[in-house]
Amino acid sequence: MTNTLEIDGLRLHLPGAARPVLAGIDLTVGARETVALVGESGSGKSLTSRSVLRLLPPGATTEGRVAVQGQDVLTMDAKQLRQLRTHTAAMIFQDPRAAINPLRRIGDFLTESLRLNADTPAQQADERAVRMLDAVGLGERVLRQYPGQLSGGMLQRVMIASALMGDPALILADEPTTALDVTTQAEVVGLLDDLRERFGTGLLFVTHDLGLAAAISDRVYVMYAGRIAETGPAEALFDRPRHPYTAALLRSTPRLDAPQGRLAAIKGQPPSLKEELTGCPFAARCPFATQACAEELPPHRPVPGEPDRLVACHHSDQLADQLAGSAAHD
């Protein structure tokens, strides 16, 4: 069976950067699967998810393959690309207010892309809009309202309804709940989860909230400086991180079940795009780094006895116990 999304060896260069912003990403999302993409600001999460719709910054060049339902997005012509964006894959952004024109009614916003694509009669588009609003728990009357009349949580539900309009196989959600408070976040996440089951959609969920990733996803990819540091099933990955970066992220998160007091902050900052990198990109901040880490890029290696897990760390096997212990906060 083909995966809904299959990214193989994606590299992305931007003008003025000394190294690729994405340096060989491999990632898959199956039908009905929720996959989380986590990592610090600037690690390349948004660029990865935007590549899936080929929404790239000016001057960007790519290598590799990004296939949605078996079709390579990077080589599509304009017509195929329009079809992809209208019907196959849809994106939900962090800030719904920035993504919706405040001067247009919600109804126009929802039906716009179907109507522009001229393959759906207006009445059919309107009917679908009502059904999708209902699916996200909003009434028909929202169609005639303006964005300013809705709360942030309601507007994000409108965004989700809009993403569902073309009956996509894949939803890319880029920090869809970061601007919402915790109770509204729970509501939106519950909704996405429902819809994923009902419509069989695959979901790529970009977030920097590790607790949220652990709670909602089947599998997780941890990204650092344009590479996947580690991937695996959510439970295993958060219980027993195999990459020092994953363990460090977990330890720096203020949690309700951790002892109070100082947090274990990661020292330093992620490498700037102006620097070339040799060796492991995390080496400069890693407490376990050795000479080998500075010199040699660690390849992705399977974790013995754990299917579906890959980790890019020279010392992962020796560190296993230490990392698992530190992630558990004791």
Partner 1 sequence: MTDVSDDQRVLEVAGLHRAFGSVQAVHDVSFCLARGGSLGIVGESGSGKTTTARIIVGLERADSGRVLVRGRDRSAAAGRGRGARLERAREVQMVFQDPFLSLDPRVTVGSVLRETLRLHVPEAKADHDRRVEELLDQVGLGAREAGAMPRQLSGGQRQRVAIARALAVEPAVLVLDEAVAALDVSVQAQILNLLADIRQDTGIGYLFITHDLGVVRCVTEDVVVMRHGRIVESGRTAEVLADPQHAYTRLLLDSVPRPGWNPKAIAVARRAL
Ligand X SMILES: Nc1ncnc2c1ncn2[C@@H]1O[C@H](COP(=O)(O)OP(=O)(O)OP(=O)(O)O)[C@@H](O)[C@H]1O
The entry of partner 1, Mg ion, ligand X, none near residue 180 (CB within 5 to 8 angstroms by kind) is partner 1
Q: For the window 196-215, what string marks contact with partner 1 as x by the rule CB under 8 A?
A: ------------xxxxx-xx
Whichever of 71 and 178 has its CB closer to partner 1, that residue is 178
- Asked if 177 and 189 touch (Cβ cutoff 8 Å), the reply is yes
**Is 183 near ligand X (CB under 6 A)?**
no
Using CB under 8 A, pick the residue from 134, 167, 193, 197 that binds partner 1: 193
Using CB under 6 A, pick the residue from 11, 14, 71, 236 that binds ligand X: 14
Whichever of 75 and 272 has its CB closer to Mg ion, that residue is 272
Using CB under 6 A, pick the residue from 7, 21, 234, 313 that binds ligand X: 21
Q: For the window 163-182, what string marks contact with partner 1 as x by the rule CB under 8 A?
A: -----------------xxx
Interacting residues with partner 1 between 58 and 117 (CB under 8 A): none
Using CB under 6 A, pick the residue from 273, 280, 286, 323 that binds ligand X: 273
Whichever of 46 and 88 has its CB closer to partner 1, that residue is 46
Whichever of 74 and 191 has its CB closer to partner 1, that residue is 191
**Count of positions on this chain that bind Mg ion (CB under 5 A):** 1
**Is 46 near ligand X (CB under 6 A)?**
yes
The three state secondary structure string of the chain is: CCCCEEEEEEEEECCCCCCCCEEEEEEEECCCCEEEEEECCCCCHHHHHHHCCCCCCCCCEEEEEEEECCEEHHHCCHHHHHHHHHHHEEEECCCHHHHCCCCCCHHHHHHHHHHHCCCCCHHHHHHHHHHHHHHCCCCHHHHHCCHHHCCHHHHHHHHHHHHHCCCCCEEEEECCCCCCCHHHHHHHHHHHHHHHHHHCCEEEEECCCHHHHHHHCCEEEEEECCEEEEEEEHHHHHHCCCCHHHHHHHHHCCCCCCCCCCCCCCCCCCCCCCCCCCCCCCHHHCCCCCHHHHHCCCCCEEECCEEEEEECCCCHHHHHHHHHHHHCCC
Report how far residue 315's alpha carbon sits from residue 306's, in angstroms, rounded to the nearest whole number: 17
- Asked if 227 and 221 touch (Cβ cutoff 8 Å), the reply is no
Pick the piece of the chain touching ligand X (CB under 6 A) from 41-49, 235-243, 252-260, 297-305: 41-49
Using CB under 8 A, pick the residue from 8, 72, 108, 187 that binds partner 1: 187
**Is 249 near partner 1 (CB under 8 A)?**
yes
**Is 264 near partner 1 (CB under 8 A)?**
yes
Using CB under 8 A, pick the residue from 30, 153, 233, 279 that binds partner 1: 153
**Buried b / exposed e across 232-270, counting CB within 10 Å, b at 16+?**
bbbebbbebbbbbbbbbbbbeeeeeeeeeeeeeebeeeb
**Is 172 near ligand X (CB under 6 A)?**
no
**Is 233 near partner 1 (CB under 8 A)?**
no
**Is 51 near ligand X (CB under 6 A)?**
no
Residue ranges binding partner 1 (CB under 8 A): 40-41, 151-153, 180-187, 189-191, 193-194, 208-212, 214-216, 234-235, 238, 248-249, 252-257, 260-266, 269
Residue ranges binding ligand X (CB under 6 A): 14, 21, 39, 41-47, 57, 181, 208, 273
